[in-house]
Amino acid sequence: METYTVVILLLAATIRVATPLVLAALAGLFSERSGVIDLGLEGKMLGAAFASASVAAVTGSAWLGLAAGVGASCALALIIAVACVTYRGNQVVAAMAVNIMVAGLGPALALAWFNLGGQTPQLEGAHQRFPELVWPWAAAARRHPVPGLAYAELLSGHSLIVYFAAALVPAAAWVLYRTRFGLRLRAVGENPLAVDTAGISVAGLRYQATLISGVLCGVAGTYLALAASAGFVRDMTAGKGYLALAALIFGKWRPYPTLGACLLFAFTDAVASRLQGVALPLVGVVPVQLILALPYVLTVLLLAGFVGEAVAPRAIGVPYAKER
């Protein structure tokens, strides 16, 4: 019984941690499948977290916050698209520029506007956040833990964005593999010349893909600020954008394996936070810093390719120059 409760709570935590990773990884999926490296996930998420928290704090509306988050993230995506697609700049440099700029801009504007040392105000109003939805009879179900607790913790009790992220995975797979847009998107990431020859705009497709990435990163960042916590704090993404990118690579740029990788990262994170301060047999208490570093170490191990080779979209990172 004890174990059952622990497992259910671990899985519930996994779902919560996985949500921004899944959203960001799917964002990266669209961008990278079109041939644009998406290292800017981190910056776009952070920008969205700041914008959504600021607007929610000022207007009192979580939905306006979401709109602002998506808007900010799309604006950043557009900067990257202009630099990488139109001006054929280095995609990694463009993304790092956005990441660094946002890392400074968020706290700088927060300090100037709210004067709280680089944070946004704590969101306490009823409509300022995306609350956890409680499904019918969830409270009653807890009285019969098997399977009631699973129902109450796993199916019920998450914010709207969590369900959105869950629905997005099959949706992304459908768009990518079953629609004309998806076919063209995959083609432009593998062989832009062929797409161009067929009379389809390479730049147009890549702009669309980066904007989709902007929208999804916007939702991910909003989740961090308005659902997982209550406001913006400095560096609150803490590398989640890079972890999502690693999950995308580990998932070989496919929706379902990517979801699996995100869940693996999230589960590790959930287990690690549970181990905090617990004395394990043989090793004793694990230092908290090791626990914090675990997702990053896991990323390095996964990327080291000890789990099979990942083949990137062939044209990734290569700006496309139309012959004149």
Partner 1 sequence: MSAARRLPRWAEYTLLPALNLTVALLLSGVVVRVMGESPWAALKLMVAGAVGTQDAIGYTLFYATDFVFTGLAVAVAFHAGLFNIGGEGQAYVGGLGVGLVGLAAGAWPAWVAVPLGIFAGAVFGAAWAFIPAWLQAKRGSHIVITTIMFNFIASALMTYLLVNVLIKPGQQSPESREFGAHAWMPPMHELLARVGIPFAPSPFNLASGLAVAAGLGVWALLWRTQWGYALRVVGRNPAAAVYAGINPARITLGAMLLSGALAGCLGVNELMGSQHRLLLDFPEGAGFVGIAVALMGRNHPLGIVLAAILFGALYQGGSQISFDLPRINRDLVVVIQGLVILFCGALENLFRAPLAAGLARLRRTGGS
Q: Where do contacts with partner 1 occur on this chain (CB under 8 A)?
A: 39, 79-80, 82-84, 87-94, 96-105, 107-109, 111-113, 115, 118, 239, 242, 245-246, 249, 287, 289-290, 292-293, 296-297, 299-300, 303-305, 309, 324
Q: Give me the least distance between CB of 299 and partner 1, in Å please.
A: 5
Going from the C-alpha of 187 to that of each of 1, 25, 77, 317, the distances in angstroms are 51, 20, 21, 15
Q: Give me the least distance between CB of 296 and partner 1, in Å please.
A: 4
Measured from the CB atom, the residue of 39 and 168 that comes closer to partner 1 is 39
Measured from the CB atom, the residue of 218 and 319 that comes closer to partner 1 is 319
φ, ψ dihedrals at 316, nearest 5°? -65, 135
Tokens representing 32? Answer: 């990278």
d(CA 315, CA 218): 26
Q: Give me the least distance between CB of 246 and partner 1, in Å please.
A: 6
Measured from the CB atom, the residue of 39 and 263 that comes closer to partner 1 is 39
| Residue 48 CB contacts under 8 Å (≥ 6 apart), including other chains | 69, 70, 72, 73, 217, 218, 219, 220, 221, 222, 225
Count CA atoms within 13 Å of residue 273 on its CB side: 11
Q: Give me the least distance between CB of 57 and partner 1, in Å please.
A: 17
Q: Give me the least distance between CB of 36 and partner 1, in Å please.
A: 12
Q: How many CB atoms lie within 10 A of CB 61?
A: 15
Q: Give me the least distance between CB of 107 and partner 1, in Å please.
A: 5
d(CA 240, CA 17): 10
Q: Give me the least distance between CB of 112 and partner 1, in Å please.
A: 4
Tokens representing 100? Answer: 């660094």
- Cβ atoms of residues 300 and 282 within 8 Å: no
- Cβ atoms of residues 91 and 206 within 8 Å: no
Measured from the CB atom, the residue of 180 and 324 that comes closer to partner 1 is 324
d(CA 320, CA 314): 12
φ, ψ dihedrals at 277, nearest 5°? 80, -5
Tokens representing 41? Answer: 């996930």
> Among residues 191, 218, 216, which one has the least CA distance to residue 205?
191
Measured from the CB atom, the residue of 292 and 318 that comes closer to partner 1 is 292
Report DSSP state, residue 278: P
Measured from the CB atom, the residue of 79 and 219 that comes closer to partner 1 is 79
Q: Give me the least distance between CB of 145 and partner 1, in Å please.
A: 36
Ranges of beta strands (E only) in 129-205 are 132-133, 158-159
Measured from the CB atom, the residue of 141 and 247 that comes closer to partner 1 is 247
Measured from the CB atom, the residue of 87 and 174 that comes closer to partner 1 is 87
